[in-house]
Amino acid sequence: MTVCAIEITTTAAFTIAADGSYAARLAGEGEARYAERWTLAGPEPYAVPLPLAQPEEADSEVLPLADGRVLIHRRVADRHAFALLYPTGAAAGPRTGELQLGGVDAQEGVRVRLLPPSPDGAGAFALASEDTVTTVWQVAGCPFGPRPVARIPGRCSGGVWLDRAGRMLALDRELEGTTKAVAVDLARGDVSPLLQITEDSDDLLLLADPDSGLLVIRSDAPGEPRLGWGVLGSARPVRFPECLRPADAHPFAAQPGQALMPETCGVALRLPEGDIGLWRPADRHVFRLGAPAGWLGGAGLWSPQGRLHLPYATPEVPCGLVGLNLPVSPPPPVRVDPPAAAPRPVPLQQAPL
């Protein structure tokens, strides 16, 4: 929630707000790049370019907020600068407004990148990773500029939200030779274990759905890197279905609204060949579908009704969405996938909320 000296890396070419209302990307090519906002909540999607007098660098990051503004992260001299962009009306035509939010000093050996959109739609966070410590910064939604909200020993990557309030964040922490997912309470700054299948395994969290509690993980506990699934706060073992054996498949969207029903929660996967995979834990197999031409950034938005919306841009359709339905599956065969050892850390439901 999915990175020399200081570097900025793009979280995704196309990022969708947590509520699905807006999306943003860095459009253009070469030295003529600019932020672009997509409106997704209406009957048809439409794009609004947000250019400024000076083009954006190719390594800038953009992230949509629920109010329609677009956060941009730039490397400016010796700082990581953050600003909000928004369209403004003018007599001579549309213009782009810009609100500077401040910045974070660029220190040698520190990697700074935006985290996925916060579920509350108002705040935004960035991850500053060093070899021995990682800092989570709130860069939007705070009154006096960027502020640190948590410091975690070890080098962290990933970033998956665990609740709808934007308080509990999962990070993959590399510490003492292994990588384990941990839960960070951003209100208190507390860090607690989240995944530990075996003591020596690398256990990464790739996707979480707060409604159903479904977790999709990648772990080498079975002897090789495999995708598996578990349930948030449960002591049940993590499962590694045979249908998810391709370790380089990547989940990018989960079906919301499946309250307390992780087995029926749909998951969209970007497959190694570029196709789309649709899967539910109850299915025990993956439906493979071709990706639409011009699919943007491996991104998608899943409705509670089971329809996956994929953004695409082509010369003929510069702003489009295509919908895929989650197929009805036949009854699963009577077969139980071998579980891994049960996770040992304190369940997340016991963390302070």
Q: What is the pLDDT of residue 93?
A: 59
Q: What is the pLDDT of residue 91?
A: 55
pTM (2 decimals)? 0.88
Provide the pLDDT confidence category of residue 13 given band limits of 50, 70 and 90.
confident
Cα gap 72→60, rounded to integer Å: 7
More confident site: 197 or 31: 197
State both tokens at 9.
């890396």
Burial class (CB in 10 A: 0-12, 13-18, 19+), 265: buried
Q: Is 70 exceeded by the pLDDT of residue 213? A: yes
What is the pLDDT averaged over residues 95-119? 94
| Structure confidence by residue, pLDDT tens digits, 265-313 | 999 999 988 899 999 999 888 999 999 999 997 899 998 888 999 999 9
Provide the pLDDT confidence category of residue 339 given band limits of 50, 70 and 90.
low
Q: Is 70 exceeded by the pLDDT of residue 118? A: yes
The mean predicted confidence, pLDDT, of the chain is 87
Cα gap 209→56, rounded to integer Å: 33
Cross-sheet strand order for the sheet of 320-325: 301-302, 307-312, 320-325
Q: Is 90 exceeded by the pLDDT of residue 203? A: yes
Candidates 175, 181, 107; CA nearest to 137 is: 107
What is the pLDDT averaged over residues 113-122? 94
Compute the C-alpha angle 121/262/14, nearest 5°. Answer: 35
Are 156 and 178 in contact, with CB atoms under 8 Å apart?
A: no
Rg (CA), the chain: 20
Q: Is 60 exceeded by the pLDDT of residue 9? A: no
What is the pLDDT averaged over residues 8-29? 81
Q: What is the pLDDT of residue 351?
A: 34
Q: What is the pLDDT of residue 330?
A: 52
What is the pLDDT averaged over residues 340-346? 45
Q: What is the pLDDT of residue 350?
A: 29
More confident site: 329 or 348: 329
Are 101 and 139 in contact, with CB atoms under 8 Å apart?
A: yes
Q: What is the pLDDT of residue 335?
A: 45
| Structure confidence by residue, pLDDT tens digits, 310-329 | 999 999 999 999 999 888 76
Cα 246 to chain centroid, rounded: 20
Q: What is the pLDDT of residue 334?
A: 43
| Structure confidence by residue, pLDDT tens digits, 126-184 | 999 999 999 999 999 998 899 999 999 999 999 999 999 999 999 999 999 999 999 99
Q: What is the pLDDT of residue 348?
A: 37
Calculate what percentage of the chain has a pLDDT beyond 70: 88
Q: What is the pLDDT of residue 10?
A: 34
The H or E element that residue 48 is part of is strand 46-50
Q: What is the pLDDT of residue 329?
A: 60
Are 340 and 238 in contact, with CB atoms under 8 Å apart?
A: yes
Calculate what percentage of the chain has a pLDDT beyond 90: 74
